Structure 1
Amino acid sequence: MIMLVSPKYAKYATSLVFVLCSILGFSQEYELENSSSITVSGTSTLHDWTVEVKNQTGKMTVTAKKATDDKIKTGQLSHISVNLFVNDIQGSKGKTMNNKMYRALKKDLFPTITFTSNNPVEFDLIDRNGSVLKNLSGVLSVAGVEKKISTQVKAIYNNKKISLSGELPMKLSDFSIEPPTAMFGQIKTGNDISVNFDLEFVHN
């Protein structure tokens, strides 16, 4: 459908467009860089352990009123997604322990882990000094189980890059994951784990 605006009202339509652009600002897409870091740590009856995600992909949409190379003002982060392959999670205890972890995560049935935000995260200012954003929420899918999560993140904006970092405590049982064991059950992984992340998003 095409709407025709008479010359009498054309100036008002132009003014309305200008006002809307001033309110909404600009919207840009950001891609997750390989320099990002995600680690998962926990305990066992023998020792503490940490595994690292070797590769991840993701996207984020940023809407704001104003941005320079080192600060971005009044806007929101939305449509955040992070995806990784279970096979890219690796520890330092060798192939045997990695395979136990893959079986616990049901890698053959659910080869990917995903996070998708479900609400925009509002902010007043993000710069190189960092801002704490309290309500990053979304759905985390692990081993075929989806769970709503919410956490706070520290956001840093510098040289047109946005970094989101934080820590997310979880339980393996939240995702119906049986803690891996070794040595015929003599060594057992604890149920509590901690996910530490430093996600680097860049605007191309």
Structure 2
Amino acid sequence: MYKLVLVLLFAVFANAASLDLVEGKIQAHTEIFGDSEINPQTRKIETILKKDSSIESISGKFEINAISLVSDNEDRDQHMYEVLNVAKSPKISFVISRITKVDDKYKIDGLLTMNKINKKISSLASITQNAQDLTMNGDFSIKLTDFGLEPPSMFFITVRDQIDIKYSFDLKEEL
């Protein structure tokens, strides 16, 4: 019986494949009320992902250095880094806890960590696989205040608390 259990465990791990990030982009969006938009983005994404036989079996982690988020305004970016508390909490990560099929899309549940605070997040995504190539595109929204961060305001200018996140990943399954 012991040998059978070992063989089954080995078979499960032998079937797991790593998913390597070929190309990816994460873009955030918020607004300065009465003024303009802020749209920082990054392509510097670290991943540790695995996949068994189905898309629903994808598990792992996405991580960025918050300082890699850049917009079209360098001065505003420096202020954004202060708001995100990058000096004390430089990393933002998302760990997948479950993926379920919902009609023609997938619901990705996971844990987002920012400013050393963990929050459960759900995202609706399009995930397609063609041979060993897999694409994942989706979005979700968060509130800065949920992560202990205050949206900046000065005089009559206030930054919206809600941040809309869009992501796009091209992955390759390595058996």
Which of the five TM-score ranges fits, normalised by the shorter chain? 0.7 to 0.9
Q: Percent of counterpart pairs with the same letter? A: 16
Note if 1:77 corresponds to 2:47.
no
SS at match of 2:81: helix
**How far apart, CA to CA, are the structure 1 residues paired with 2:142 and 2:78?**
21
Note if 1:60 corresponds to 2:49.
yes
Which residue of structure 2 aligns with residue 156 of structure 1? Answer: 128
The structure having more radius of gyration, on CA atoms, is 1
* Two-structure CA RMSD over aligned residues (Å): 2.6
Where in structure 2 are the equivalents of 1:98-117 lying within 5 Å?
98-117=77-96
- Structure 1, unmatched stretches of 5+, are 4-12, 65-73, 124-130
Q: Deviation per CA, 1:126-154: give whole Å up to 9, x if none.
A: xxxxx5112x1111001111101112211
Note if 1:26 corresponds to 2:15.
yes
TM norm structure 1: 0.73
| Contact 2:142–2:162, Cα closer than 8 Å, also in 1 | yes
Aligned residues: 167
Which residue of structure 1 aligns with residue 112 of structure 2? Answer: 140
**How far apart, CA to CA, are the structure 1 residues paired with 2:47 and 2:30?**
25
TM norm structure 2: 0.84
Q: Deviation per CA, 1:22-64: give whole Å up to 9, x if none.
A: x99932111223x201100011121122111131110221111
Note if 1:92 corresponds to 2:68.
no
| Contact 1:25–1:63, Cα closer than 8 Å, also in 2 | no
**How far apart, CA to CA, are the structure 2 residues paired with 1:158 and 1:79?**
19
SS at match of 2:63: strand
